[in-house]
Amino acid sequence: MIEPIALNLVDHLLFLLLGIILPFRTISAQKKLKDMHFNQRMRISLYIGNSIGLWLMALVVLGAWWWFQRPYSTLGLTWTNEAGHWLSVGIVSLFFVVYCLDAVRDVLTEKGRAEAETRLSEELNILPRTLRSYAIFILLAISAGVCEEIVFRGFFMSYLISLLGTATWAKILAISIPAVIFGYVHTYQGKQAILKIVGMALLFGTIFMLTGSLYLLILLHAAVDLVGGAIGLFFPEPVPEDEFYDPGASQLWEEE
């Protein structure tokens, strides 16, 4: 169960910034990504930049909780008996297994590989295609697991429950609104993926509403991103000869 908090002006401004303004700006930036062809260096820069952005968002929320001396348990940063219940663990585990099977289909079946190759050349062009870029992608996956859960589930749902109340309709809205926003900021993955992402966010929100803990969701979120990012490794792309060419290093070699 999510604990309501006493809202103030800072909370309203934070929701306006993180839940409305930044998502719209994110969509505008993502439109430019569709026309870009990413190489390894560009992907690594994107992973690092996005990781920093995610941590800044989460730290702003955590900073507000620290400033107003609120218990972090109201953000879901606590372990509850409901989170450790076999049903919660079972649902999370089942979802992860189903997600992995879907990823295996993309890699092993002819139809899945054809669809994956199309998506990797278009909206999923940002996925890592080498072990080096995947190593940096791990940082992004962990950052997304921790920070997006703190913001989208922890803060947004706590804010909406505190604003709307604990009636059934209010709980439904508290789950649905963050799920829609979460799907909206992932539109770069394509229309088909958005439906899966919104469905995943609805499940995550329901689990958080029932358990009051983010820890299982953080682990599941990071694991899902790690598996999804690994798909690109099965579709290596040729590396341009000049991508890692360092004129300075070449000149020093010649001088020797």
Question: Among 20, 56, 2, 74, which residue's Cα sits nearest to residue 185?
Answer: 20
Query: What band does 256 get if pLDDT is binned at 50, 70 and 90?
Result: very low
Element (H, E) at 97: helix 86-108
| Beta carbons of 76 and 191 less than 8 angstroms apart | no
182 within 8 A of 213, measured Cβ to Cβ: no
Q: What is the mean pLDDT of the chain?
A: 88
pLDDT tens by residue, 142-186? 999 999 999 999 999 999 999 999 999 999 999 999 999 999 888
Whether the predicted pLDDT of 7 surpasses 90:
yes
Neighbouring residues of 130: CB distance < 8 A, sequence distance ≥ 6: 40, 233, 236, 239
What is the DSSP annotation of 182-204?
Answer: HHHTTGGG-HHHHHHHHHHHHHH
pLDDT at position 3, please?
87
The upper half-sphere exposure of residue 88, i.e. CA atoms within 13 Å in the direction of its Cβ, equals 22
First to last CA, the chain: 69
Interior angle at CA 64, CA 62 and CA 70, nearest 5: 85
Q: Which amino acid is at 240?
A: P
Q: 105: which residues sit within 8 A by CB, 6+ positions away?
A: 112
Helix (H, G, I), strand (E, B) or coil at 122: coil
Q: Give the pLDDT of residue 251.
A: 38
Band the pLDDT of 34: cuts 50, 70, 90: low
What are the structural domain ranges in the chain? 9-238
The pLDDT score that the predictor gives to residue 186 is 86
9 Cβ partners below 8 Å, 6+ apart? none
- The per-residue pLDDT for range 102-124, each reduced to its tens digit, is 888 888 888 888 887 777 776 67
CB 173 within 8 A of CB 36: no
